[in-house]
Amino acid sequence: MKVIGAGFGRTGTRSLKASLELLGYGPCYHMSAVIAEPYRVRQWLDVGEGGSRDWDAVFAGFRSALDWPAAAYWRELAAHYPDAKVILTVRDPERWYDSVSETIFRSALAERRPLPLHRRVIRRLVARRAPDFALYPRMARATIMDRVFDGRIGDRDHVLGVFDRHLAEVKAAIPAERLLVFDVGEGWGPLCAFLGVPVPGQPFPQANERAAWQAKRQRRRLGLILRGR
C-alpha cells in the first residue's frame, strides 16, 4: 500500500482514484470495488462487527485505498502501512453535506423506514440472487453510519461537527511530511509534488457522480437480480 485516503466519501474520492491510477498508484481501492465485487461486503462486515482485520487480505492487489469504508479506518491503516502516504481530501463542508445527504445518507435513511411493496420485492430478489450484496446496508451501518456518525446521519449539525473534527484529528495525528490536505479542484500540482512524480500531460480527472448516483444504484440492483453474484 502506497497511498491511504483519509477523506470522507463525496470529497472528490472518485476523481482522486482516477488520478492515482493515472500516476501509477493503481489499482486503487474505492467503495466502487466493494460494489463491483460483493464478496468484499462480507469482508467489511466482519471488520465492522469486530471480526478479522486482515488488512493485507482486504487490500490484496491494490496499491492505494480511498473512500469509505477504508477511510473510516484511516488510523489503523496508517499504522499498518507506515510507509504509505496519507491524502486527506477536503471540500466546503456545506457543499459536502448537501452531496452526502442527497446520496449516501438518503439511501441509508431509507433503509430505516418501512419499505413499500416494490422495494421489499427487490430486496428479496437481491438477497436470493446476490446474498453477499444483500448485506450491504448492514455493512454500511457497521463501518460508516454507526462507527463514524454514531448513527445520527439525519442530524445536520452533528454530521458537520463530525466532519470538522475528522479533519482536525487527521491533521493532528499524521506528520506533515506524510500528509497532503488536498482539494481535487487544485489539480495535478500539489498531488504530483507530494508524490514526487511528473505532472501528466492530460487534464486532472473530474468525476461528478452526484446526479447519476441514484440511477447507477438502481442499475446495479437490476444487474444483481438478473445475473447474480
Task: Grade residue 225 by pLDDT with cuts at 50, 70 and 90.
Answer: very low
37-52 b/e (C-beta count within 10 Å ≥ 16 → b): ebebbebbbbbbeeee
- The DSSP call for residue 181 is E
Q: What is the pLDDT of residue 31?
A: 93
Report whether pLDDT(222) > 80: no
Q: What is the pLDDT of residue 19?
A: 98
Query: Taking the CA of residue 227 as centre, how many other CA atoms within 13 Å lie in the half-sphere pointing to its CB?
Result: 11
Q: What is the pLDDT of residue 120?
A: 57
CA distance 199 to 54: 34
The architecture that CATH gives domain 3-227 is: 3-Layer(aba) Sandwich (3.40)
Q: What is the pLDDT of residue 121?
A: 57
Sequence spans of domains, the chain: 3-227
Residue 187 has φ and ψ, to the nearest 5°, of 75, -160
| pLDDT tens by residue, 50-100 | 988 999 999 999 999 999 999 999 999 999 999 999 999 999 999 999 999
| pLDDT tens by residue, 33-51 | 998 898 999 999 999 999 8
Query: Hey, is 88 helix, strand or coil?
Result: strand
